[in-house]
Structure 1
Amino acid sequence: MRTIGVVVNPIAGMGGRVGLKGTDGKVEAARERGAQPRAPERAVAALRALGERAGRARDASDDAGIELLTYGGEMGEREAREAGFDPQVVGRAGEDTAAADTREAVRRFVAEDADLILFVGGDGTAVDVTEALDEAGAEIPILGVPAGVKVYSAVFAVTPDAAGRVAAEFDRTERREVNDIDEDAYREGEVRAELKGIAAVPVAEDLQSSKQVGGGTVESLAAGVAADARNDEETTYVFGPGSTVGAVESALGFEGSPLGVDVWRDGEVLVEDASADEILAHLGDRNVVVVSPIGGQGFVFGRGNDQISPSVIRRSEVEVVASKNKLDDVGVLRVDTGDEEVDADLRGWRKVRVGRFERRMMNVV
């Protein structure tokens, strides 16, 4: 038996159809323009798919099935009953729903030992759910039914139907990013994506990728590499040139050489703008080379970072970092170290870090 907590943000997405590019702080303006709620119907679609898959599971096993927890009224109960469920109602909001009600619903789900929180809304709702879980110290996985105007987080299924299927059938989880953007800037045509949290999410093909762009993606991957480095006192890090790796160095608290190679270990910069021999002289028992491909070309080694010689590469692990936009642009990665044996070892499919936890498989040719 799987227990799922369902919470619906009934006003999510109302601003989109009427040109407001979001609903945060714009609910009354959306209503004045004739906006109609879209989250409830998307919640019903997701729950019907959930019920259908759960029914198939029950036919195959007497132990399978779904127990639904919901918040009262239009925050989940009404949609669950329309989809054919008889949910357990764990609380109710006032006449006007707010983010505080979503957070309270999550706390009630935690108290009832839910196995999954299925929420319906946009990025703002994803942030509310994630932060409420963090405050409660709970590790319950979450899954979003996309209903907001902006859905920039990697915790959403691609469609309501897919959300229902995934909620019924998943068997493992992974860590994914919760992002949000500045809606005022968005209304002026500027996208400012910001990492707001990390959540456990079911592993499935029908989940959307994070849509962070520009600095948002680089910021999140930089924070991830920096966090790993700080927790690894014995490892020597060799940071290649470029703005993406420079963001990692900034996250570690120092400004490296933009066109050079820097060596760092346990909070200390050992050498800036190092030569190949200087890098070799400062390597330890475990070493990690952090590099980013050149935009438009895709070269990881052999263009602009010859200081990271084949001898350095042989003694090191290689961590490739890049924004998703850059990877989309280059298509494949390339190496040209001048040592065919090293190049051959580097070629093939490799995981490239594109976020704090997210990685993308790229072919090195």
Structure 2
Amino acid sequence: MTEFRLGLVVNPAAGLGGSVALKGSDGAETAQKARELGAEPKAPKRAAQALTELSKHQLACKILTGADGLGEESCAQAGLPCEVVYTGNTPSTAEDTKATVAALIAAGVDLLLFAGGDGTARDVFAVVPEEQPVLGIPAGVKIHSGVYAVSPRAAGKVVVQMLQGQLTTVTHADVMDIDETAFRAGTVRAKRYGEMLVPAELRYVQAVKMGGKESNELVLADIAADIVERMEDDQLYIMGSGSTVAAVMEELGLENTLLGVDVVKNGELLARDVTARQLEQMVISAGQPARLIVTVIGGQGHIFGRGNQQLSAALLAHLLETEGKEAIWVVATKAKLQQLDGKPLLVDTGDAEVDDQLCGLIRVTTGYHDEVFMQVDAP
């Protein structure tokens, strides 16, 4: 039997801008600014999480990848041998991603695994042949594309299934991206760039994000009224991104960062568009009790790990330890939940232990004094 050849490319800059509230990492200048603000690379670690699923099984697989942060580092973290086919620049650029992909294609890989966000997916799409199967490991700030697994571990499980011969079909999925400049100004302009072939495993591969604001303004007003009624004095409220949370801010009469995270206390805006480090200082270091208000990504079901990386695993672990799941208030219309077609809500914090703690049932506010229970999963 021919040995399975797995290609791996990691964009080390992917996700850098998330924790420092830059809304993305596209472009060398943005990535450099994120580093100057103290952001640390997360993509190599997330790729290693996917590869760790492979290391649990003794299956015939040869991994080909790029040098250092382009993939070699992730293989080392997972304890897996690899063959380097390309050596790039430090820090790496989009051209290094494309060059690594080209080298992997020339080497004849059976599956191309890549770690990054929508910008990385575009770079891969620009190089891969139409018939090349690929799969993304989510590691970016923006992940609207349908070519990504729902989590790093899920990506690894898909590869394991392929190695075990359990998957034989592939499907075309959309490559999407948004205008980061407009995104930072609070406007989502998503554009479809094409399609790539991905393994057809619906449990582990995410759907294309469904954009647009909630149409039912009355339902949003009801949700907002319920949340505001429950707010207590001298309590920090961390307001996540999205139009449903924005309705709560509107009910409070406060300015809102639609695609960022704000902090409210005693009915006043305490901090706008905060970073992960700022939140950890305000809550963990200062010992402030806090509640977190988040919504659901339409069409995908994520409540953590997509567009709200400011809500770090450390912050979530602290809230779970001190307050339990009651510290996390999920808000969503029933229409948005029905779009999931029975699928669970998803978490992908980058910390498997925190993900596991978040799993299980969670209350979702869907109207005024109206709640439903939803299952949370970390595939």
| 2:112 aligned counterpart, secondary structure | strand
Q: Which protein, 1 or 2, shows the higher relative CO under an 8 Å CA cutoff with sep ≥ 6? A: 2
**Alignment of structure 1 residues 181-200 onto 2, 5 Å:** 181-200=178-197
Query: Hey, what's the Cα distance between the residues in 2 that align with 1:117 and 1:12?
Result: 17
Query: Hey, what's the Cα distance between the residues in 2 that align with 1:213 and 1:124?
Result: 18
Query: Aligned-pair RMSD on alpha carbons?
Result: 2.2
Name 1:129's counterpart in structure 2: 124
| 2:53 aligned counterpart, secondary structure | helix
Per the alignment, do residues 85 and 33 of structure 1 end up closer, same or farther by CA in structure 2, a change over 3 Å counting? Answer: same
Query: Hey, what's the Cα distance between the residues in 2 that align with 1:44 and 1:101?
Result: 19
**Alignment of structure 1 residues 217-232 onto 2, 5 Å:** none
Query: Hey, what's the Cα distance between the residues in 2 that align with 1:140 and 1:329?
Result: 34
Residue identity in the other structure for 2:139: A
The alignment status of 1:97 with 2:92, answered yes or no, reads yes
Per the alignment, do residues 326 and 132 of structure 1 end up closer, same or farther by CA in structure 2, a change over 3 Å counting? Answer: farther
**Alignment of structure 1 residues 243-282 onto 2, 5 Å:** none
Name 1:210's counterpart in structure 2: 208
Residue 51 of structure 1 and its aligned partner are, at CA, apart by 2.2
Residue identity in the other structure for 1:147: A
Name 1:144's counterpart in structure 2: 136
The alignment status of 1:109 with 2:90, answered yes or no, reads no
Name 2:44's counterpart in structure 1: 40
In structure 2, runs of 5+ residues without a counterpart are 214-332, 340-379
Per the alignment, do residues 330 and 142 of structure 1 end up closer, same or farther by CA in structure 2, a change over 3 Å counting? Answer: closer
8 A Cα contact 1:193 1:212, kept in partner: no
Q: Which of these residues, 175, 178, 181, is aligned with residue 175 of structure 2?
A: 178
Name 2:9's counterpart in structure 1: 7
The alignment status of 1:153 with 2:142, answered yes or no, reads no
Per the alignment, do residues 3 and 146 of structure 1 end up closer, same or farther by CA in structure 2, a change over 3 Å counting? Answer: same
8 A Cα contact 2:53 2:157, kept in partner: yes
| 2:127 aligned counterpart, secondary structure | helix
Query: Hey, what's the Cα distance between the residues in 1 that align with 2:125 and 2:110?
Result: 15
Query: Hey, what's the Cα distance between the residues in 1 that align with 2:25 and 2:14?
Result: 7
Query: Hey, what's the Cα distance between the residues in 2 that align with 1:329 and 1:109?
Result: 40
Per the alignment, do residues 326 and 72 of structure 1 end up closer, same or farther by CA in structure 2, a change over 3 Å counting? Answer: same
Per the alignment, do residues 329 and 159 of structure 1 end up closer, same or farther by CA in structure 2, a change over 3 Å counting? Answer: closer
Query: Hey, what's the Cα distance between the residues in 2 that align with 1:153 and 1:40?
Result: 20
Name 2:79's counterpart in structure 1: 84
Number of aligned pairs? 211
8 A Cα contact 1:42 1:147, kept in partner: yes
CA offsets 1:104-145 (integer angstroms, 9 cap, x no match): 111111111101110000000011111111xxx451111111
Query: Hey, what's the Cα distance between the residues in 2 that align with 1:95 and 1:2?
Result: 30
Residue identity in the other structure for 1:78: E
Per the alignment, do residues 330 and 18 of structure 1 end up closer, same or farther by CA in structure 2, a change over 3 Å counting? Answer: closer
Query: Hey, what's the Cα distance between the residues in 1 that align with 2:69 and 2:43?
Result: 10
Residue 86 of structure 1 and its aligned partner are, at CA, apart by 1.2
| 1:132 aligned counterpart, secondary structure | coil
- Relative to the length of structure 2, the TM-score reads 0.53
Residue identity in the other structure for 1:210: V
**Alignment of structure 1 residues 303-314 onto 2, 5 Å:** none
CA offsets 1:192-250 (integer angstroms, 9 cap, x no match): 110011000001111111014249xxxxxxxxxxxxxxxxxxxxxxxxxxxxxxxxxxx
Residue identity in the other structure for 2:174: E
Query: Hey, what's the Cα distance between the residues in 2 that align with 1:192 and 1:100?
Result: 24
CA offsets 1:74-131 (integer angstroms, 9 cap, x no match): 1001111221111111010022211111111111111111011100000000111111
In structure 1, runs of 5+ residues without a counterpart are 59-64, 216-324, 332-365
Residue 166 of structure 1 and its aligned partner are, at CA, apart by 0.4
8 A Cα contact 1:44 1:83, kept in partner: yes
Per the alignment, do residues 330 and 164 of structure 1 end up closer, same or farther by CA in structure 2, a change over 3 Å counting? Answer: closer
State, as a whole percentage, how many aligned pairs show the same letter.
42
